[in-house]
Structure 1
Amino acid sequence: MKTIIIGGGLGGLSAATTLAAHGEETILFEKNEHFGGKMKSIDIDGYHFDFGPNTITMPYVFEDILRMGGMDKTLTYRLLDVHTRNQFPDGTIFDLSSDRNYMMEQLKSFDQKGWKTYDRFLQDITKLFRTSYSSFLSRAFTSKRDYISFSLLKDTINVRPLMSMDRFFHSYFTSPYVRMALNRYATYVGSDPYRAPATFAMIAYLELMEGVYYVEGGNTKIAEAMTRAATNAGARLHAGTEVKSLVQAKDHIRGVVLENGEYVEADHVIINGDIGQTLPALLGEKQPTYDPSISAFVILAGLDASLPLHHHHLLFSDDYKKEFAELKAGRYSDDPTIYISTSRKSDPAVSPNGDNCFILVNAPPGQEIDADEYKQLIYDKLHRNGIRVSSHIQTESIWTPQDIETRFSSFRGALYGPSVNNKKQAFLRPRNKSDRFRNLYFAGGSTHPGGGSPIVTLSGQNVANHILGILTET
């Protein structure tokens, strides 16, 4: 049996390693010259940047894949105890940490309710995560029948689908600063905390209970290790090789046609890419109609100085709810929340000459803006708040939603495929198997179970395990 994987993001690499490690002939084609998808290393003038992701959780998910390819224990994960600094326009600082005592000390000073309810909050987000992991994250959804189950319905109810994330956090905290810091977790799946279901508050569990990590040498070392693991397991990986079309035969896909015209036959095909962009291109179908996740406006800035920044640093807007209303309307915010990742704070060797600032603001998908003007708006806001990035720039690169769409074949530049801003897209994401073709599968952030590095890694592994089960049975 031969499986062809289209796309070498983390989901594709995960699927390739899993299949090959179990003896299946596996070939992966990636149109770019690098593997790892958005987990891309960018080195400019002596400054190293991880394009994404900057925040690493669930390292055991990556290690499980690496173990199959003989690459486990090759990465050094550093736990960032106080991992995110949240800075507000009035100068208030609130840090996020997996250290319960540190969190309690902060809450006691300006959120008495939160201080009293914090342990219950931790218990509740732990339940959210454990239920979500066992019922949703650790399995492929391949048909409508997968949703018809009393136990699944019960678990769905238990993850609070009818409550918004913002409302959920209101139940525990009175401080608007605490709620804004926690509401930002919705952006981890490209969504709006005032519309996304409380289910995704489980992300808080990952950061506040399990912890946030950084991989020594840069988080992109994960993608590099997974690439070697897939190769070690026996998968054949081809970079710079674009698949142009799928060859159809009634109810199945016979194979793929490469850019050079070569035809490669397959028993199974896995598409690891944004299905809103990739599937229409490969099958000549219309693009789907769904609410895409947010995109991003990104500045990579190499500085000649070390600024008073944390590894993960947020400067919030005055009105967070208004910011998401603007994004919903397709507009760039004139007062955006600004995220800065400076990995040099934890690992000076990656940028010895000064800070390597990865600066990101949320952007409406499919919408462009004058990049120089918006860049200056961001720099001016940072400067007003004591973060003088623009005074120390030695090198700079700007990425817009159009760049993200082009480089990563991402529908309208959306970072995570469909948003989770409505119940259907949150709980009925595109399934991992085609309804039309019995041997066509999907993995990655635009399909079940969703976005985020460990989650898309699970997606690829789930699909591979499903195929292995089919092969075992037949």
Structure 2
Amino acid sequence: MSTKSAAKVAVVGAGPGGLAAAMLLAAEGYHVEVYEKQEVVGGRSGELRLGKYTFDRGATFLMMPHLLRELFTSAGRSIDDYVSLKELDPLYSLHFGDTVFKPSTNQDQTANEVERLFPGNGEGYRRFMANEGDKLDRVQPLLQRPFQSLGDYLKKDVLHALPKLHATDTVYNRLSKYFSDERLRFAFAFQAKYLGMSPWECPGTFTILSYMEHRYGLYHPIGGINQVFQAMADVLKEHGGRVHTSCGVKRVLVHNGQATGLLLDNGDKVDADYVVIGADFGSAMTEMFEPGILKKYTPKKVAIKRYSCSTAMLYLGVDGAVDLGHHSVHFAEDYRRNVEEITKLGTLSADPSIYVHNPSVLDPTLAPAGKSSLYVLMPVPNLTADINWEKESERVEEEMLERLQRIPGLANLSQRIEEKLFFSPRDWQAKLGVYNGATFNLAHNLGQMMYLRPHNTFQEARGIWLVGGGTHPGSGLPTIFESAKISVRLLKEHDRAARSRTFKAGVAGTRASL
């Protein structure tokens, strides 16, 4: 495409989806400008600094790196020139009281570990890996194309995948067909958290999440996952695009049903041929359009959609090393009750599960020498629950610290803390614009998947495309990157068609004048 005649694209939000789309479009020659309210790129997964300590604010699991490499290759770059990716072995440690399960991508080794800790389940693990591999092969094409009409369900790839989708089953029920030990089912079910859902409700399709980890591994980018997003911003700039941080968007401007640009928080107007919305779906729909423009996504209709759970976060700068692996999950004694309290009852658990990220165990760039950056996540209800976080935050913070200090080796952790930040669901909404504090965006129930999820091509106004966890194919970094690829492809197809019509109209006008 000639840069002189290239269309102007304004991207709302420098989160993973917005940056991926911006990078791809800039590589194609479009004039791309990204507007981000925060001081750093990455959205809810951006970099967080406390004194001399650095953290990933949100996402810490990086899987399927080949998809990331393909994304950068499409932009004419190699991710390895920007970020150093370190494979994790084991994947994580899963703690069920005194039992600790440490799986890896080595299937023979993991099968032996399963058999040692959970006798009689090694064969089930091998069946799981074989069957889920076939399922992913069938499902993956559905995650790489749009669903914008009911007719999309009749295409060959859907019919091929249908026998393996298990969409009307649940993750927990599917895992019960492979594993007899309840703890082992939980070990392959906790990934439903990435979708903010209970494994007892999450569609059975999503057993592929744990399979992807076990098959393709988990990786840590040196400096944190936020470095991947910084790399995207760098590639965007190399292709002539720009990222404007500390520059929020007040309105998406629409005239006669067509997007014309943006109104920024500072009062400036930005003209654009096309708009890509990478901001949080619920917040964008309820805050970024003039009243009366949206019909399908009015505030009332957005409010009744189902949203994921939220998270309470502790970011700790700790003096000394922490005797934990890179990723560790510490399950509640009654995990099912813990999940039901989060997703159904809307209450805070007396016996919570927690996830601990200890990247300093392999990445010395995140903390001063001899010290550790520790990230602690506790799934909690989102803001639709009747919990007063202004009153509860201090108590929850204390309980999270107490829960941490019950982990062997962390008994005196509170005495070693040099920096500390607690982040509640209320903070996710107020400080990062996450609707309802739903950290994982829209839920992935059957009524909000594929065609029934907000479409990549926005239905309410022309010239707008959605990217991120609030559109197809869903939340989680790999699928967010796929949303960007899908929406960029649709935007380019629309642009080519518009240019062709303009060209033909020009030729017809010239002939008429002759």
Q: TM-score, normalised by structure 1?
A: 0.95
Aligned to 1:104: 111
- The secondary structure found in structure 2 opposite 1:244 is strand
Output the CA distance in 1 between the equivalents of 2:205 and 2:273.
Answer: 37
Q: Hey, what does 1:62 align to over in structure 2? A: 68
Q: Distance in 2 between matches of 1:112 and 1:268?
A: 57
Contact residue 449 and residue 472 of structure 2 kept, 8 A: no
Which residue number corresponds to residue 332 of structure 1? 348
Q: Verify the 8 A CA contact 1:332 1:364 in the aligned structure 2.
A: yes
Counterpart check, 1:307 vs 2:322: yes
Letter in 1 for 2:105: S
Deviation at 1:239, TM superposition (A): 1.4
Q: Quote the residue 2:93 is aligned against.
A: 85
Q: Secondary structure at the match of 1:23?
A: coil
- Whether 1:361 aligns to 2:414 is no
Distance 2:314 2:279 in 1: 24
**Contact 2:13–2:277 under 8 Å retained in 1:** yes
Within 5 Å, give how 1:36-51 maps onto structure 2. Answer: 36-51=42-57
Q: Please, which of 245, 248, 271 is the counterpart of residue 265 of structure 1? A: 271
Gap change, CA 1:49 and 1:21, over 3 Å in 2: same
SS in 1 for 2:102: strand
Q: Which residue of 1 aligns with 2:475?
A: 451
Whether the 8 Å contact between 1:303 and 1:393 is mirrored in structure 2 is yes
Q: CA deviation at 1:248?
A: 2.0
CA-to-aligned-CA distance 1:408-446 (integer Å, 9 cap, x gap): 2111111121112x3112442211122221222111011
Which letter does structure 1 place at the counterpart of 2:258? Answer: H
Change (3 A) 1:72 1:384: closer
Mark the runs of 5 or more structure 2 residues left unpaired by the alignment. 1-6, 292-297, 501-514
1:175-215 per-position Cα deviation (integer Å, ceiling 9, x unaligned)? 12211111101001111111001111111122101001111
Cα drift, residue 275 of structure 1: 1.5
> How far apart, CA to CA, are the structure 2 residues paired with 1:45 and 1:59?
31
Residues 361 and 424 (structure 1), Cα distance of their counterparts in 2 relative to 1, 3 Å cut: same
Q: How many Å separate the matches in 1 of 2:284 and 2:403?
A: 37
Q: Which of these two proteins has the greater Rg computed from alpha carbons?
A: 2
Residue 169 of structure 1: CA displacement? Answer: 0.8
Who is 1:382 aligned against?
404
Per-residue deviation at 1:392? 2.1
Structure 1, unpaired ranges of 5+: none
Structure 1 113/349 Cα, relative in aligned 2: closer, same or farther at 3 Å?
same
Shift of 1:154: 4.4
2:183 to 177, 184, 188: 177
Tell me the SS of whatever aligns to 1:228. Answer: helix
Shift of residue 264 of structure 1? 2.1
1:443-472 Cα offsets, whole Å, 9 max, x none, are 101111111122212211210111112223
The answer to whether the 8 A contact 2:10-2:274 is kept is yes
SS in 1 for 2:43: coil
Match of 1:17 in 2: 23
Is 1:345 the equivalent of 2:361? yes
Supply the distance in 2 between the matched residues of 1:9 and 1:228 (Cα, whole angstroms): 14
SS in structure 2 of the partner of residue 127 of structure 1: helix
Q: Verify the 8 A CA contact 1:65 1:226 in the aligned structure 2.
A: no
1:160 Cα deviation from its structure 2 partner: 0.8
Counterpart of 1:423 in structure 2: which amino acid?
L
Q: Which has the higher contact order (CA 8 A, sep 6+)?
A: 1
Q: 1:400 aligns with which of 424, 440, 444?
A: 424
Aligned-pair distance for 1:401? 0.5
Q: Tell me how large the CA RMSD over aligned residues is.
A: 1.8
What is the number of equivalent residue pairs in this alignment? 471
Separation of aligned partners in 2, 1:354 and 1:425: 43
User: Alpha-carbon deviations, 1:62-119, whole Å to 9, x = none?
Assistant: 2233331535322211111202101123x11111211212211211123344211222
Alignment partner of 2:93: what SS?
Answer: strand
CA contact (8 A) 1:69 1:228 kept: no
Partner of 2:512: none
Shift of 1:150: 5.4
Q: Is 98-107 or 6-15 further displaced after alignment?
A: 98-107
Q: Following TM superposition, by how much is the alpha carbon of 1:362 offset from its aligned partner in structure 2, in angstroms?
A: 0.2
Letter in 2 for 1:374: V
* Corresponding residue to 1:286 among 266, 279, 299: 299
Offset at residue 277 of structure 1 (A): 1.1
Q: Secondary structure at the match of 1:98?
A: coil
Q: Distance between the aligned counterparts of 1:145 and 1:235, measured in 2? A: 36
Q: Is the 8 A contact 2:11 2:22 kept in 1?
A: yes
Rounded Cα–Cα distance in structure 2 between residues aligned with 1:269 and 1:157: 38
Task: Among all aligned residue pairs of Structure 1 and Structure 2, give the percentage whose two residues are the same amino acid.
Answer: 26
* 2:395 aligned to which of 361, 366, 373: 373
How far 1:234 sits from its partner (Å)?
Answer: 2.2
* Equivalent of 2:35 in 29, 38, 41: 29
Matches of 1:16 and 1:267, distance apart in 2: 14
Whole-angstrom CA distance in 2 between matches of 1:246 and 1:202: 36
Do the aligned partners of 2:222 and 2:365 also contact (CA within 8 Å) in 1? no
Question: Could you tell me how far apart the structure 1 residues matched to 2:468 and 2:154 are?
Answer: 23
User: What secondary structure is seen at the aligned counterpart in 2 of 1:301?
Assistant: strand
Q: 1:34 to 1:440 in 2, by over 3 A?
A: same
**Which residue of structure 2 lines up, in the alignment, with residue 256 of structure 1?**
262
Instruction: Provide the rounded CA distance (Å) in 1 between the counterparts of 2:478 and 2:284.
Output: 22
- Of 204-213 and 238-247, deviating more is 238-247
Of the three residues 306, 324, 331, the one matched with 1:316 is 331
> Do the aligned partners of residues 45 and 169 (structure 1) sit closer, same or farther apart at CA in structure 2, a change above 3 Å counting?
same
